[in-house]
Chain A
Protein backbone atom coordinates (compact mmCIF):
# COMPACT_ATOMS: atom_id res chain seq x y z
CA UNK A 1 0.00 0.00 0.00
CA UNK A 2 1.27 3.45 -0.90
CA UNK A 3 1.19 5.62 2.21
CA UNK A 4 0.98 9.38 2.45
CA UNK A 5 3.71 9.26 5.11
CA UNK A 6 6.23 8.41 2.40
CA UNK A 7 5.58 11.78 0.85
CA UNK A 8 5.86 13.59 4.18
CA UNK A 9 9.29 12.02 4.47
CA UNK A 10 10.20 13.15 0.97
CA UNK A 11 9.00 16.63 1.90
CA UNK A 12 11.07 16.47 5.09
CA UNK A 13 14.15 15.38 3.12
CA UNK A 14 13.72 18.34 0.76
CA UNK A 15 13.59 20.72 3.73
CA UNK A 16 16.69 19.11 5.24
CA UNK A 17 18.54 19.33 1.91
CA UNK A 18 17.57 23.00 1.64
CA UNK A 19 18.90 23.55 5.16
CA UNK A 20 22.17 21.74 4.43
CA UNK A 21 22.67 23.85 1.29
CA UNK A 22 21.92 27.00 3.31
CA UNK A 23 24.68 26.61 5.92
CA UNK A 24 27.54 27.21 3.45
CA UNK A 25 25.64 29.91 1.51
CA UNK A 26 27.65 33.08 2.15
CA UNK A 27 25.18 35.23 0.24
CA UNK A 28 22.73 34.67 3.11
CA UNK A 29 23.56 36.93 6.06
CA UNK A 30 21.51 34.69 8.36
CA UNK A 31 22.76 31.39 7.02
CA UNK A 32 23.08 29.59 10.36
CA UNK A 33 19.65 30.59 11.62
CA UNK A 34 18.07 29.87 8.24
CA UNK A 35 19.80 26.51 7.90
CA UNK A 36 18.67 25.54 11.40
CA UNK A 37 15.09 26.57 10.58
CA UNK A 38 14.86 24.40 7.46
CA UNK A 39 16.61 21.41 9.05
CA UNK A 40 14.29 21.62 12.08
CA UNK A 41 11.28 21.80 9.78
CA UNK A 42 12.49 18.81 7.78
CA UNK A 43 13.19 16.79 10.91
CA UNK A 44 9.74 17.64 12.26
CA UNK A 45 8.14 16.18 9.13
CA UNK A 46 9.91 12.87 9.71
CA UNK A 47 9.48 12.89 13.47
CA UNK A 48 5.81 13.75 12.92
CA UNK A 49 5.23 10.23 11.60
CA UNK A 50 6.03 8.81 15.03
CA UNK A 51 3.93 11.45 16.77
CA UNK A 52 0.91 10.50 14.67
CA UNK A 53 1.58 6.80 15.45
CA UNK A 54 1.91 7.74 19.12
CA UNK A 55 5.32 6.07 19.31
CA UNK A 56 7.19 9.28 20.15
CA UNK A 57 6.40 12.11 22.57
CA UNK A 58 4.58 14.99 20.87
CA UNK A 59 6.09 17.53 23.26
CA UNK A 60 9.50 17.18 21.57
CA UNK A 61 7.91 18.29 18.30
CA UNK A 62 6.14 21.06 20.20
CA UNK A 63 9.52 22.38 21.35
CA UNK A 64 10.84 22.23 17.77
CA UNK A 65 7.80 24.13 16.47
CA UNK A 66 8.17 26.88 19.05
CA UNK A 67 11.91 27.01 18.33
CA UNK A 68 11.17 27.57 14.62
CA UNK A 69 8.82 30.41 15.49
CA UNK A 70 11.51 31.74 17.83
CA UNK A 71 14.07 31.80 15.00
CA UNK A 72 11.62 33.77 12.88
CA UNK A 73 10.79 36.14 15.75
CA UNK A 74 14.51 36.77 16.30
CA UNK A 75 14.89 37.66 12.63
CA UNK A 76 17.25 34.74 12.04
CA UNK A 77 15.48 33.42 8.94
CA UNK A 78 17.01 35.08 5.92
CA UNK A 79 17.55 34.20 2.29
CA UNK A 80 20.46 34.01 -0.09
CA UNK A 81 20.85 36.50 -2.88
CA UNK A 82 21.78 33.93 -5.54
CA UNK A 83 20.26 35.20 -8.76
CA UNK A 84 17.09 33.75 -10.18
CA UNK A 85 16.88 33.20 -13.92
CA UNK A 86 17.70 36.38 -15.83
CA UNK A 87 15.38 37.87 -18.41
CA UNK A 88 17.69 36.81 -21.27
CA UNK A 89 17.97 33.31 -19.87
CA UNK A 90 14.19 33.04 -19.72
CA UNK A 91 13.73 34.41 -23.22
CA UNK A 92 16.31 31.98 -24.59
CA UNK A 93 14.49 29.10 -22.88
CA UNK A 94 11.12 30.24 -24.22
CA UNK A 95 12.57 30.56 -27.73
CA UNK A 96 14.01 27.09 -27.54
CA UNK A 97 11.22 25.14 -25.88
CA UNK A 98 8.11 27.24 -26.55
CA UNK A 99 4.84 25.77 -25.36
CA UNK A 100 6.56 22.53 -24.42
CA UNK A 101 7.52 24.34 -21.21
CA UNK A 102 3.94 23.89 -20.05
CA UNK A 103 4.19 20.10 -20.23
CA UNK A 104 5.88 19.52 -16.84
CA UNK A 105 3.58 22.06 -15.15
CA UNK A 106 0.45 20.51 -16.61
CA UNK A 107 1.73 17.04 -15.79
CA UNK A 108 0.97 17.84 -12.15
CA UNK A 109 -2.85 18.20 -12.35
CA UNK A 110 -3.13 15.40 -14.90
CA UNK A 111 -1.21 12.93 -12.73
CA UNK A 112 -3.14 14.04 -9.62
CA UNK A 113 -6.39 13.12 -11.36
CA UNK A 114 -5.04 9.85 -12.74
CA UNK A 115 -3.72 8.74 -9.37
CA UNK A 116 -6.50 10.06 -7.12
CA UNK A 117 -9.36 8.87 -9.33
CA UNK A 118 -7.90 6.12 -11.48
CA UNK A 119 -5.72 4.29 -8.98
CA UNK A 120 -8.33 4.07 -6.24
CA UNK A 121 -8.22 0.32 -6.61
CA UNK A 122 -7.72 -2.66 -4.39
CA UNK A 123 -4.97 -5.19 -4.79
CA UNK A 124 -6.23 -8.33 -3.19
CA UNK A 125 -8.32 -6.99 -0.32
CA UNK A 126 -6.01 -4.06 0.42
CA UNK A 127 -6.35 -0.64 -1.19
CA UNK A 128 -3.40 0.44 -3.34
CA UNK A 129 -3.48 3.97 -1.91
CA UNK A 130 -3.93 4.81 1.75
CA UNK A 131 -7.58 5.56 2.44
CA UNK A 132 -8.62 9.24 2.60
CA UNK A 133 -5.21 10.39 1.37
CA UNK A 134 -5.64 9.60 -2.31
CA UNK A 135 -5.36 13.18 -3.57
CA UNK A 136 -2.35 13.94 -1.37
CA UNK A 137 -0.64 10.82 -2.66
CA UNK A 138 -1.64 11.97 -6.14
CA UNK A 139 0.09 15.28 -5.53
CA UNK A 140 3.24 13.55 -4.31
CA UNK A 141 3.36 11.16 -7.27
CA UNK A 142 2.61 14.04 -9.65
CA UNK A 143 5.49 16.10 -8.27
CA UNK A 144 7.91 13.21 -8.81
CA UNK A 145 6.64 12.41 -12.32
CA UNK A 146 6.72 16.11 -13.28
CA UNK A 147 10.29 16.60 -12.12
CA UNK A 148 11.39 13.54 -14.14
CA UNK A 149 9.54 14.79 -17.22
CA UNK A 150 11.02 18.27 -16.79
CA UNK A 151 14.50 16.89 -16.27
CA UNK A 152 14.42 14.67 -19.37
CA UNK A 153 12.96 17.43 -21.49
CA UNK A 154 15.14 20.34 -20.41
CA UNK A 155 18.35 18.47 -19.57
CA UNK A 156 19.75 20.97 -17.06
CA UNK A 157 23.52 20.94 -16.62
CA UNK A 158 23.46 19.60 -13.08
CA UNK A 159 21.37 16.89 -11.46
CA UNK A 160 21.02 19.23 -8.50
CA UNK A 161 19.31 21.97 -10.55
CA UNK A 162 15.75 21.04 -9.49
CA UNK A 163 16.79 21.07 -5.84
CA UNK A 164 18.61 24.39 -6.16
CA UNK A 165 15.68 25.97 -7.99
CA UNK A 166 13.26 24.56 -5.45
CA UNK A 167 15.43 26.06 -2.73
CA UNK A 168 15.33 29.46 -4.44
CA UNK A 169 11.51 29.36 -4.43
CA UNK A 170 11.32 28.09 -0.87
CA UNK A 171 13.63 30.85 0.36
CA UNK A 172 11.44 33.37 -1.43
CA UNK A 173 8.37 32.00 0.36
CA UNK A 174 10.26 31.87 3.65
CA UNK A 175 8.33 31.48 6.90
CA UNK A 176 5.02 31.79 5.00
CA UNK A 177 5.58 28.20 3.83
CA UNK A 178 4.71 26.92 7.30
CA UNK A 179 2.04 29.50 8.16
CA UNK A 180 -0.95 27.39 6.95
CA UNK A 181 0.31 24.45 8.98
CA UNK A 182 0.79 26.67 12.02
CA UNK A 183 -2.74 28.06 11.64
CA UNK A 184 -4.10 24.53 11.52
CA UNK A 185 -2.08 23.79 14.66
CA UNK A 186 -3.57 26.84 16.35
CA UNK A 187 -7.04 25.63 15.39
CA UNK A 188 -6.39 22.34 17.17
CA UNK A 189 -4.97 24.15 20.18
CA UNK A 190 -8.10 26.28 20.33
CA UNK A 191 -10.17 23.11 20.38
CA UNK A 192 -8.02 21.64 23.17
CA UNK A 193 -8.37 24.86 25.20
CA UNK A 194 -12.12 25.00 24.62
CA UNK A 195 -12.30 28.16 22.50
CA UNK A 196 -14.92 26.63 20.21
CA UNK A 197 -17.12 25.80 23.21
CA UNK A 198 -16.84 29.38 24.44
CA UNK A 199 -17.74 30.80 21.05
CA UNK A 200 -20.70 28.41 20.91
CA UNK A 201 -21.83 29.38 24.41
CA UNK A 202 -21.42 33.06 23.71
CA UNK A 203 -23.55 32.86 20.60
CA UNK A 204 -26.11 30.62 22.29
CA UNK A 205 -26.59 33.29 24.96
CA UNK A 206 -26.94 36.04 22.40
CA UNK A 207 -29.19 34.31 19.92
CA UNK A 208 -32.75 33.24 20.75
CA UNK A 209 -33.61 29.53 20.87
CA UNK A 210 -34.22 27.92 17.53
CA UNK A 211 -31.51 29.99 15.96
CA UNK A 212 -29.14 27.06 15.90
CA UNK A 213 -28.70 27.29 12.15
CA UNK A 214 -27.33 30.78 12.69
CA UNK A 215 -25.00 29.31 15.27
CA UNK A 216 -23.72 26.88 12.72
CA UNK A 217 -23.06 29.73 10.34
CA UNK A 218 -21.34 31.76 13.00
CA UNK A 219 -19.19 28.78 13.84
CA UNK A 220 -18.36 28.40 10.20
CA UNK A 221 -17.26 32.03 10.10
CA UNK A 222 -15.19 31.68 13.21
CA UNK A 223 -13.46 28.71 11.60
CA UNK A 224 -12.78 30.42 8.33
CA UNK A 225 -10.75 33.13 9.99
CA UNK A 226 -7.93 30.75 10.70
CA UNK A 227 -8.52 28.28 7.95
CA UNK A 228 -6.78 30.62 5.55
CA UNK A 229 -5.37 28.39 2.93
CA UNK A 230 -1.97 29.15 1.67
CA UNK A 231 0.70 31.77 1.62
CA UNK A 232 0.33 34.34 -1.09
CA UNK A 233 2.39 33.70 -4.10
CA UNK A 234 5.49 35.76 -4.16
CA UNK A 235 8.04 36.24 -6.81
Chain B
Protein backbone atom coordinates (compact mmCIF):
# COMPACT_ATOMS: atom_id res chain seq x y z
CA UNK B 1 0.00 0.00 0.00
CA UNK B 2 1.38 3.34 -0.94
CA UNK B 3 0.19 6.69 -2.15
CA UNK B 4 -0.54 5.41 -5.62
CA UNK B 5 -2.89 2.85 -4.09
CA UNK B 6 -4.46 5.47 -1.88
CA UNK B 7 -5.10 7.70 -4.87
CA UNK B 8 -6.62 4.96 -7.00
CA UNK B 9 -8.86 3.88 -4.13
CA UNK B 10 -10.09 7.44 -3.62
CA UNK B 11 -10.59 7.82 -7.36
CA UNK B 12 -12.68 4.65 -7.54
CA UNK B 13 -14.87 5.92 -4.71
CA UNK B 14 -15.33 9.26 -6.44
CA UNK B 15 -16.40 7.44 -9.58
CA UNK B 16 -18.93 5.41 -7.60
CA UNK B 17 -20.31 8.53 -5.94
CA UNK B 18 -20.63 10.24 -9.33
CA UNK B 19 -22.64 7.27 -10.48
CA UNK B 20 -24.90 7.63 -7.46
CA UNK B 21 -25.38 11.31 -8.23
CA UNK B 22 -26.34 10.39 -11.78
CA UNK B 23 -29.09 8.09 -10.53
CA UNK B 24 -30.36 10.86 -8.29
CA UNK B 25 -30.49 13.22 -11.28
CA UNK B 26 -32.39 10.61 -13.28
CA UNK B 27 -34.84 10.15 -10.42
CA UNK B 28 -35.49 13.87 -10.11
CA UNK B 29 -35.88 14.24 -13.86
CA UNK B 30 -38.44 11.42 -13.86
CA UNK B 31 -40.36 12.55 -10.78
CA UNK B 32 -43.46 13.06 -12.93
CA UNK B 33 -43.10 10.06 -15.23
CA UNK B 34 -46.04 7.68 -14.69
CA UNK B 35 -44.96 4.25 -13.40
CA UNK B 36 -41.32 5.28 -12.79
CA UNK B 37 -39.58 3.57 -9.85
CA UNK B 38 -36.67 5.41 -8.29
CA UNK B 39 -33.22 3.94 -8.87
CA UNK B 40 -30.99 3.25 -5.89
CA UNK B 41 -27.20 3.11 -6.25
CA UNK B 42 -25.45 0.24 -4.49
CA UNK B 43 -21.81 -0.02 -3.57
CA UNK B 44 -19.55 -2.99 -3.24
CA UNK B 45 -15.90 -3.58 -2.60
CA UNK B 46 -13.78 -4.79 -5.50
CA UNK B 47 -12.29 -8.20 -4.84
CA UNK B 48 -9.26 -9.20 -6.86
CA UNK B 49 -8.51 -12.94 -6.83
CA UNK B 50 -10.19 -13.37 -3.48
CA UNK B 51 -8.33 -10.46 -1.93
CA UNK B 52 -10.06 -7.28 -0.92
CA UNK B 53 -8.46 -4.34 -2.71
CA UNK B 54 -10.34 -1.59 -0.92
CA UNK B 55 -11.53 -0.10 -4.19
CA UNK B 56 -15.22 0.54 -4.59
CA UNK B 57 -17.49 0.02 -7.55
CA UNK B 58 -21.18 0.58 -8.05
CA UNK B 59 -23.14 -2.62 -7.94
CA UNK B 60 -26.20 -3.42 -10.03
CA UNK B 61 -28.98 -0.85 -10.05
CA UNK B 62 -31.80 -1.54 -7.64
CA UNK B 63 -35.29 -0.21 -8.04
CA UNK B 64 -37.15 1.09 -5.05
CA UNK B 65 -39.97 -1.38 -4.37
CA UNK B 66 -42.18 0.98 -2.38
CA UNK B 67 -45.70 1.60 -3.68
CA UNK B 68 -46.18 4.01 -6.57
CA UNK B 69 -47.95 7.24 -5.92
CA UNK B 70 -51.64 7.11 -6.93
CA UNK B 71 -52.68 10.34 -8.55
CA UNK B 72 -56.26 11.39 -9.16
CA UNK B 73 -56.71 12.82 -12.64
CA UNK B 74 -59.68 11.46 -14.64
CA UNK B 75 -58.57 13.33 -17.76
CA UNK B 76 -55.20 11.52 -17.87
CA UNK B 77 -54.93 8.93 -20.67
CA UNK B 78 -53.58 6.31 -18.21
CA UNK B 79 -56.32 6.84 -15.63
CA UNK B 80 -58.36 3.77 -14.66
CA UNK B 81 -62.11 3.57 -14.07
CA UNK B 82 -61.88 5.42 -10.75
CA UNK B 83 -59.87 8.24 -12.29
CA UNK B 84 -56.53 7.27 -10.70
CA UNK B 85 -53.22 6.52 -12.41
CA UNK B 86 -49.84 5.37 -11.05
CA UNK B 87 -47.27 8.13 -10.73
CA UNK B 88 -43.63 7.63 -9.73
CA UNK B 89 -42.41 6.80 -6.25
CA UNK B 90 -39.80 9.55 -6.29
CA UNK B 91 -39.86 11.82 -3.25
CA UNK B 92 -37.94 14.99 -4.02
CA UNK B 93 -36.91 15.58 -0.40
CA UNK B 94 -35.35 12.12 -0.21
CA UNK B 95 -33.48 12.71 -3.46
CA UNK B 96 -32.12 16.05 -2.30
CA UNK B 97 -30.92 14.53 0.99
CA UNK B 98 -29.32 11.65 -0.89
CA UNK B 99 -27.61 14.10 -3.25
CA UNK B 100 -26.20 15.99 -0.28
CA UNK B 101 -24.84 12.78 1.17
CA UNK B 102 -23.25 11.79 -2.13
CA UNK B 103 -21.64 15.21 -2.29
CA UNK B 104 -20.24 14.89 1.23
CA UNK B 105 -18.76 11.48 0.47
CA UNK B 106 -17.29 12.79 -2.76
CA UNK B 107 -15.68 15.70 -0.94
CA UNK B 108 -14.20 13.42 1.70
CA UNK B 109 -12.66 11.23 -0.97
CA UNK B 110 -11.38 14.23 -2.87
CA UNK B 111 -9.71 15.48 0.27
CA UNK B 112 -8.03 12.13 0.84
CA UNK B 113 -6.85 12.14 -2.77
CA UNK B 114 -5.39 15.59 -2.34
CA UNK B 115 -3.72 14.64 0.90
CA UNK B 116 -2.07 11.57 -0.62
CA UNK B 117 -0.86 13.78 -3.45
CA UNK B 118 0.59 16.35 -1.06
CA UNK B 119 2.31 13.70 1.04
CA UNK B 120 3.85 12.23 -2.07
CA UNK B 121 5.06 15.58 -3.34
CA UNK B 122 6.61 16.43 0.02
CA UNK B 123 8.41 13.09 -0.22
CA UNK B 124 9.76 14.08 -3.62
CA UNK B 125 10.89 17.43 -2.22
CA UNK B 126 13.70 15.61 -0.44
CA UNK B 127 15.22 14.77 -3.79
CA UNK B 128 15.04 18.33 -5.06
CA UNK B 129 17.60 19.69 -2.64
Q: Are A and B a genuine interacting pair, yes or no?
A: no
